[in-house]
Amino acid sequence: MIYEGDILAYGEVEGVVKVVKDPKELLEFKEGSILVASQPTPLFNPFLFKSKAVIVEHGGMLCHAAIVSRELGIPCIRVKGATKIFKDGQKVRIDPEKEIVEVVE
């Protein structure tokens, strides 16, 4: 499946998804995963620093996740309904040129 989005911080990456609907789920986050959340706040910072990329449902170029992602040099993309679309453990590829997220497994 391919999902269109809006690139908030550039970079191409492939990795495993961790969906976080409740901040308690951050305790299960593994370094190098792709963080999927509705709209990460500063509470998410320690996990943003360990992320390979970030997929958000809400926010724009000035949202917290986008700003931190650009500073860290990792991709950030907004995909409507991301926390419902993506599942823990899915492997995805973020393609900034096409502004898509593709499920590869």
Catalytic residue list: 64
Distance, CA of 77 to CA of 13 (rounded, Å): 11
CA neighbor of 18 nearest in space, from 80, 92, 77, 73: 92
CB atoms within 10 A of CB 67: 15
Q: What is the dihedral of CA 42, 47, 49, 51, to 10 degrees?
A: -130
Strands 76-78 and 91-95: unpaired
